Amino acid sequence: MEENLELVNQFVMFIWMEHDMRKIIENEVRDDERAYYGSNGMSFFNIKIKGPTDGESAFKECKNIDVNNSRCELRYPFWHNTNGDYYKITLTKTARAPWWYDKNITFNKVICKGVKALRECKNITIIDSKFISIEFGWNCKNIYVVDSYIEGFYAFFGSKEATLNNIDFKGKYSFQYTENIDINNSNLDTKDAFWHSKNVTVTDSVIKGEYLGWYSENLTLIRCKIIGTQPLCYCKGLKLIDCTTEACDLSFENSEVEGNIIGDIVSIKNPQKGYLNVSGNIGEIIVDEYDRSNGEFKLNR
């Protein structure tokens, strides 16, 4: 009986060791279609997804995977995945639309140059990473980004519930139709940012670009530097707290605004409702036949 029990224990140990070995895959080059489809509880090290057959969707429908020190050059690699950790991986321009319909994913020291990265994803953490991706982060939810660089047109379009700290962003038409966004200590070099956004707060940041925040609702800027022509028009519930401006002309047209500006502003045109305190010089105040304020706006100088 004891001999049989020992044999059983040895067999169980063998099966456990074999299973444990199957959970680690390393030093492979794959270009076949759905190379690691449906992997569950797997760790991948030094994997290269590249080759002449242009195989798509290498890691589709996976769960509980981590991919480390790897490179991907082929299309649609990470679709419909749950619980993915990505560390020190690089995706080239040919790795198009890399993450779609994923949830619970973390990026650390990732470099991604594939277009349309992150679409319809939720529960996303991005740390110390670089994304150069047109149409980045569309219709995503619950996003946290820190110490990262992002570049691309229409970034975060339609996304909700995001916190961004210490990001460097460059690209036109960012954060349009977003909701419940909190941005801190960041540099945003962008045009037409925050159009139609709702419940956005930007703190201790530089926002450079034309036509900032048009048609937004409940946009709050705290200790921000605002640079560019015709900012913050057609806004509702706009708040400015200790902000500065540069080259801001024709500002606040038809907007509901409350707050204060430290220093000068080039011009203010037809604000609709609320008040502004301006400590510096106002180059021009424009009130013309299209003024809709009906005496509901007050400018304090």
DSSP summary character for residue 93:
T
CB 59 within 8 A of CB 39: yes
Residue 6 has pLDDT above 80, yes or no: no
From residue 164, give the alpha-carbon distance in Å to each of 146, 149, 211, 283. Answer: 6, 11, 22, 34
The predicted-structure confidence for 124-156, as pLDDT tens digits, reads as follows 999 999 999 999 999 999 999 999 999 999 999
Residue pLDDT, tens place only, 219-273? 999 999 999 999 999 999 999 999 999 999 999 999 999 999 999 999 999 999 9
Sign of the torsion formed by the C-alpha atoms of 86, 157, 193 and 252? negative
Q: Can you give the pLDDT at residue 301?
A: 86
Both tokens assigned to 26: 């390393």
> In angstroms, what CA-CA distances link 197 with 193, 246, 252?
9, 23, 16
Residue 216 phi, psi dihedral angles, 5° rounding: -80, 160
The verdict on pTM exceeding 0.75 is yes
How many CB atoms are located within 10 Å of the residue 288 CB?
7
User: Could you give the C-alpha distances from 251 to 210, 237, 258, 268, 287, in angstroms and in order?
Assistant: 11, 15, 13, 5, 12
Between CA 282 and CA 117 the distance in angstroms is: 43
Contact 213, 231 (CB under 8 A): yes
Residue 36 above 60 pLDDT?
A: yes
Tell me the pLDDT tens digit for each residue of 172-197. Answer: 999 999 999 999 999 999 999 999 99
* Number of Cβ atoms within 10 Å of the Cβ of 269: 20
Domain ranges of the chain: 24-152, 166-301
pLDDT in tens, 61-109: 999 999 999 999 999 999 999 999 999 999 999 999 999 999 999 999 9
Give the pLDDT confidence score for residue 79 in this predicted structure: 98
